[in-house]
Structure 1
């Protein structure tokens, strides 16, 4: 026979109410409706797939933003190239004026040639994500300047033109290098730099050998010499705090012994280097020719001195279509080096040359403008893909939330209901126990009689 006590005991210990309350607490504390596969096996599978898609769309957003940044950097370099070309066009038009003398045109051409160097520098120094978007693949060398062992034959004089350029690099790990140059009574000076732009050996920028090449400050040498094609890093900046102009000195564990600038008078300069802990770039700055005799004991790895950059176009992920594959937005290169613009030999020294240069500049300006429009269109395309991705992601997250997230109102109601039932059962048990005691008390009093 079912008594009040046995009924209340079974009610309070019913596992259904305990599980309901435990599940409600778990969902309220975690914020998730599905905390294990037993809660909703099908829902768990669907929510995991939606979570995977959500992660992919978050990454797609970052990919598109990277692509927009790449295009902005490239377009910024093109804008500066256009400004330089406009000034070059102005100089070409000025040179065409019949009032100018040959001396006037030579003066105009000096600025014209320096602007050409700056234009080329933009192509080699506009770097984004280890890529050079304004440099043609033919200009992108795996070792940007040849090793000294490739440029010179050991112990045999080699004749080269001096100027504002690098002639070779000494790889890290080389030992006992000696360099002897003979500039044949002209002022051609030996210079040694690190790939980051530290001037270790040579003549200071105040020397005439720099000014005749258009260099008067650290910013000049950065824009005219510190090019990635010359082996320098894109962030190279001029630093002469450790410059050795004569005698011996040790820098970063490397000892240099330099004869110093021997002009005027003796035009032979000598340099010895005991070992190299980092790649060093050699230049001979001047406006003549020189003979260089180079010797060494060992040379480091041939590939340890140049800067490696990725070639080819850039493909930016535009979609994450699981069924049809991923689409891409292609950002092709837009080379604006002097060779790409057909302006390597351009000058304004004569009326005829200025006329030819003017046509070359007009063609270059049309190409640069077209390239800027290309990047603008690509940025708009990526912005559109970004907006579409965000809208799809918003709907995806809403669907995932309906499956996975806790309905706080429902779970709160369930937990409250389970708590009320539990409290009621406890109250009934207390009352039932009290009734049992009263009955026993009456029976006991009857027995006493």
Structure 2
């Protein structure tokens, strides 16, 4: 027989009501419907996948915005190049005018040549995102100067002519390089430069080995050695502030140990380099020949720029899917150096030269305009990818919310229901206890009578 007391005891001790209330409180406090795998194992798996895709969509948005900024900087450089070309075209047309004397044309050509330098400067100095080249020139260092791995047989003597030239370059990322030269009693000195013209190891310009080659100042070495065909950048300038002429020294994280100039007397010079984080150019300046024995542990990849990026195509992440992988929008390098525009030798010193320059400038303007259109199209493509990504992300988050988020109305109703049942249970138990006491009181009174 089910008494009031036994009913209220079973009601209050029922674990269903206790678990319902606990679950409702947990979901209301966390805002999540699924707080453990036990809540909804299938839903948890789906929501985790949707969370991964949501994180990817957020990163894709940042990547695309970076790509748009990258293209905008490149297009801005091209716009300035076009403006310079327009002024150069104006000068060429002015030089064609028959009333100009030779002196007039020389004056016009001075501005024309300076504009050429500015054009090349834009090509090599338009950079973004930690010195990432955008425009540049088609030629890499390795196209003009061979690496030591191609010039020398490791550990074996190689005979070469000395002079005012680059004999090889050391790629960035190389380790434990040793160079020994024997000039056979001739005055041939080992020199090490960066591609920007910084003199790291060797003999100062006051040494005889330079003067016999026509170099007495920084301007001389710039015009005679610091040439793109010798591996140097167009803006290279001489800097000897860190020159090591003897002993050891560390420059930009690279330690050099140099025997110094051994002429006259001993004509063997030695150099060791522990590692390279930028490409270095080697010259042996003199007027004779020498044997060089070169060794190394590892060599960096040809054309490596160390901490700098190589000019070349850039892949911007456009879409990503866990099942299909990543798609990219490719931004190819746009070379607009003077050699790429076929304007290295252009001038307006004569009527004929001005006419030739006009044709070259027209071709260059067409090329630059085409390149600007390319970047404009890529920016539009990335804008479209950005809009699609945002719409997909919005739908993705809505689906994830349906699975993972708490329905506050439902959970509030459940918690209220469970609380009512719990409070009713307590009230009924208290009433049952009171009833039992009344019955016992009546029985006690009957027995007393």
TM-score, normalisation: structure 2: 0.69
Query: Which piece of structure 1 moves more, 12-21 or 198-207?
Result: 198-207
Query: What residue is the counterpart of 2:323 in the other structure?
Result: 323
Say which is worse superposed, 141-150 or 8-17, in terms of deviation. Answer: 141-150
Deviations 1:159-217, CA, capped at 9 Å, x for gaps:
99999998865678999999999999999999975567756689999999999999999
Could you say if the C-alpha distance between residues 271 and 322 of structure 1 is closer, same or farther in structure 2, counting changes exceeding 3 Å? Answer: closer
Higher alpha-carbon deviation: 246-255 or 59-68: 246-255
Once the two structures are superposed, residues 22-61 of structure 1 have per-residue CA deviations (whole angstroms, 9 ceiling, x without a partner) of 1101111221112233323443343333333323322322
Distance 2:187 2:92 in 1: 31
Cα pair distance change 1:440/1:63, threshold 3 Å: same
Change (3 A) 1:424 1:311: same
Q: Matches of 1:107 and 1:150 in 2, distance apart? A: 46
2:192–2:281 Cα contact (<8 Å) kept: yes
Q: Deviations over 1:138-167 (max 9, x none)?
A: 523458755579789999999999999988
Segment drifting more, 54-63 vs 108-117:
108-117
**Cα 1:51–1:102 shift into 2, 3 Å:** same
Distance in 1 (alpha carbons) for counterparts of 2:219 and 2:427 = 88
CA 1:34 to 1:228, structure 2 compared with 1: closer, same or farther past 3 Å? farther
Q: Is the 8 A contact 1:182 1:268 kept in 2?
A: yes
What number of residue pairs does the alignment pair up?
448
1:77–1:429 distance in 2 versus 1, CA, 3 Å = same
Deviation at 1:397, TM superposition (A): 0.9
Check 1:297–1:51 CA distance in 2 against 1; reply closer, same or farther (3 A cut).
closer
Note closer, same or farther for the CA distance 1:413–1:388 as it changes in structure 2 (3 Å cut).
Answer: same
Q: Secondary structure at the match of 2:389?
A: helix
Q: Which moved more, 1:23-32 or 1:315-324?
A: 315-324
2: CA distance, partners of 1:319 / 1:296: 43
- Inter-partner Cα distance in structure 2 for 1:392 and 1:196: 47
Tell me if the contact between 1:145 and 1:306 (Cα under 8 Å) persists in the aligned partners. Answer: no
* Residue-by-residue CA offset, 1:314-345 (whole Å, 9 max, x unaligned): 34343346777755433333321222212222
Name which of structure 1's ranges 102-111 and 432-441 shifts more when overlaid on structure 2: 102-111
* C-alpha distance in structure 1 between counterparts of 2:390 and 2:200, whole Å: 52
Q: Which secondary structure state, in structure 2, belongs to the residue aligned with residue 215 of structure 1?
A: coil
Work out the CA distance in 1 between the residues paired with 2:403 and 2:297: 72
- The CA deviation at 1:409 is 2.1
Give per-residue Cα distances to partners, 1:220-272, cap 9 Å, x unaligned.
99999999997789999997765799999996799999999999999999999
Q: Which residue of 2 aligns with 1:170?
A: 170
Q: Which residue of the partner structure matches residue 76 of structure 2?
A: 76
- Residues 198 and 361 of structure 1, relative CA distance in 2, 3 Å threshold: same
Residues 1:266 and 1:222: Cα distance change in structure 2 (over 3 Å): same
CA contact under 8 A between 1:126 and 1:133: conserved in structure 2? yes
User: Contact conserved, 2:34 with 2:44, CA < 8 A, in 1?
Assistant: yes
Pairwise CA RMSD of aligned residues? Answer: 6.7
Q: What displacement does 1:423 show?
A: 1.6
Unaligned runs of 5+ residues in structure 2 are none
Q: Give the distance between the partners of 1:285 and 1:411, measured in 2 at CA.
A: 85
Deviation at 1:128, TM superposition (A): 4.7
- Give the unaligned 5+ runs of structure 1: none
Q: 1:400 to 1:379 in 2, by over 3 A?
A: same
Residues 54-88 of structure 1: per-residue CA shift (max 9 Å, x gap): 23322322232232122112212212222322232
SS of the residue corresponding to residue 159 of structure 2 reads strand
From the superposition, tell whether residues 269 and 324 of structure 1 become closer, same or farther in structure 2 (CA, over 3 Å): closer
* 2-structure distance, mates of 1:184, 1:89: 54
Q: CA deviation at 1:367?
A: 1.2
CA contact (8 A) 1:118 1:224 kept: no
Residue 118 of structure 1 deviates from its aligned partner by 3.3
Aligned pair in 2 of structure 1 residues 63, 304: CA closer, same or farther (>3 Å)?
closer
- Over residues 98-140 of structure 1, what are the superposed CA-to-partner deviations in whole Å (9 max), with x where a residue is unaligned? 3444344344434433433332333333345689765588523
- Structure 1 window deviating more from structure 2 (49-58 vs 127-136): it is 127-136
Does the aligned pair in 1 maintain the 2:133–2:309 contact within 8 Å?
A: no
Are the aligned partners of 2:172 and 2:306 in contact in 1 as well (CA < 8 Å)?
A: no
8 Å contact 1:145–1:230 — kept in the other structure? yes
Rounded to whole Å, the distance in 2 between the matches of 1:109 and 1:159 is 44
Cα pair distance change 1:250/1:68, threshold 3 Å: closer
Length-normalised TM-score, structure 1: 0.69
